[in-house]
Amino acid sequence: MAAGNQAPASSGRHSRRMAVASVLMLVTTFCWASNIVAGKMALKGFNALALAQLRMGAAALLYWALYVAWRGFPSLHLKKRQWALLGLMGLTGITLNQICYIGGLARTSVTHTGLIQAIGPIMVLLLAAALGQEALTSRKILGMAVSFAGVAGLLVEKPAKGSGAHWTGDVILIAAAAFFAYYTILMKEVADLYDTLTLNALVFGLGAILLIPFCAESVAKVPWRHVPAQAWWGLAYMVLFGSLIAYLIYGFALQELSASNVAAFSYLQPVMAAALGIWLVGERISMTVVWGGALILFGVYLTERERGARKHIEHLASGKM
């Protein structure tokens, strides 16, 4: 009798944990979508390179402060190859990704940024296929073609007046997605070696250091006394919610939800970003953007459906920048 009572209780706890994880995943998705708007606000006081350095530098400090508070001062005994791999991850996933991401965001709209981020899984598939890690099928190729047709629509359209979109920013964002996709593939090699906190502390720290040669001069030229309050709030939001809290929540959600369930939330991100761009930034979107966005998401859906349930690491490439 006791065993019979334990089964429903266990099932109830599992259901509650999944419900909590789903709500937290929705919060995470909103954090990443609103992070794009926060970036636009921050760019009103900082140039792109300075913002990249300040965001990643502050996030790295917070990760290390959290690590030390949680586990004490680290005693890392890593081999040269491990440091080299982590350094390459920091270079691609943080340094080059952020230079291109914030540089692209500065030159295009919130809506276009959210939609181009959505092609992350497509970029992972292309690189994995190029490296011989995954075979291409007719459905995968169809999905990629549909998504890139949507991207092409964004690039060639004449932006609506007041949209803030421009093809140069879109192209730079595609480069950002490519760098992050390569970072995602590299992460497969270390996913089982480090926990989320340790990995983020190492990668963010190395990436922030590698940003210095590119961004130090821009940071030195920031007119600190004239930076508006909204830029400071935007930077703070990007650090706390876009770089720290969202990733930690994401790690918990991945432990409770299947990879396919987590991936489903990524389709909401560009929709949320577009809505926030219209509401908070006053952007306007055209029917070309609507159809282009629909093609991008449908192409990603076709590709993901073909690939089936994947390890959660691959879903980092769904546009968490």
pTM for this one?
A: 0.88
Q: Which pLDDT score is estimated for 45? A: 97
**Cα–Cα distance between 139 and 309 in angstroms, integer?**
16
Phi-psi region of 165 (alpha: psi -120 to 50; beta: other; left: phi over 0): beta
Task: Give yes or no for a contact between 21 and 257, defined as CB atoms under 8 angstroms apart.
Answer: yes
For CA atoms 85, 91, 93, 94, give the dihedral sign: positive
Task: Indicate the residue type of 235.
Answer: L
Question: Is position 6 within any domain?
Answer: no
Other Cβ atoms within 10 Å of 75 Cβ, number: 6
Residue whose entry in the numeric block shows the structure tokens 């730079």: 172
Question: Is position 18 within any domain?
Answer: no
Task: Give yes or no for a contact between 311 and 259, defined as CB atoms under 8 angstroms apart.
Answer: yes
Q: Which residue range forms the structural domain that includes residue 236?
A: 37-317
Question: Is position 19 within any domain?
Answer: no
Per residue in 185-194, pLDDT (tens digit) is 898 788 778 8
The count of residues in the chain is: 321
Task: Give yes or no for a contact between 147 and 300, defined as CB atoms under 8 angstroms apart.
Answer: yes
Other Cβ atoms within 10 Å of 9 Cβ, number: 9
- What is the rounded radius of gyration, in angstroms, for the C-alpha atoms of the chain? 20
Q: Which pLDDT score is estimated for 321? A: 67
**Cα–Cα distance between 93 and 243 in angstroms, integer?**
12
Question: Is position 20 within any domain?
Answer: no
Task: Indicate the residue type of 146.
Answer: V
- Which tokens hold the place of 189? 């090699």
Mean of per-residue pLDDT scores for the chain = 87
Question: Is position 114 within any domain?
Answer: yes
**DSSP 8-state code for residue 189:** T
**Cα–Cα distance between 259 and 266 in angstroms, integer?**
11
**Cα–Cα distance between 197 and 180 in angstroms, integer?**
19
Per residue in 262-315, pLDDT (tens digit) is 767 778 899 999 999 999 998 988 888 999 999 999 999 888 777 654 444 445
Q: Number of folded domains in the chain?
A: 1
Question: Is position 7 within any domain?
Answer: no
Question: Is position 71 within any domain?
Answer: yes
Task: Give yes or no for a contact between 289 and 154, defined as CB atoms under 8 angstroms apart.
Answer: yes
Question: Is position 22 within any domain?
Answer: no
Per residue in 141-195, pLDDT (tens digit) is 999 999 999 999 999 887 777 678 899 999 999 999 999 999 988 987 887 788 8
Task: Give mean pLDDT, residues 118-146.
Answer: 89
- Which tokens hold the place of 1? 């009798």
Task: Indicate the residue type of 32.
Answer: W
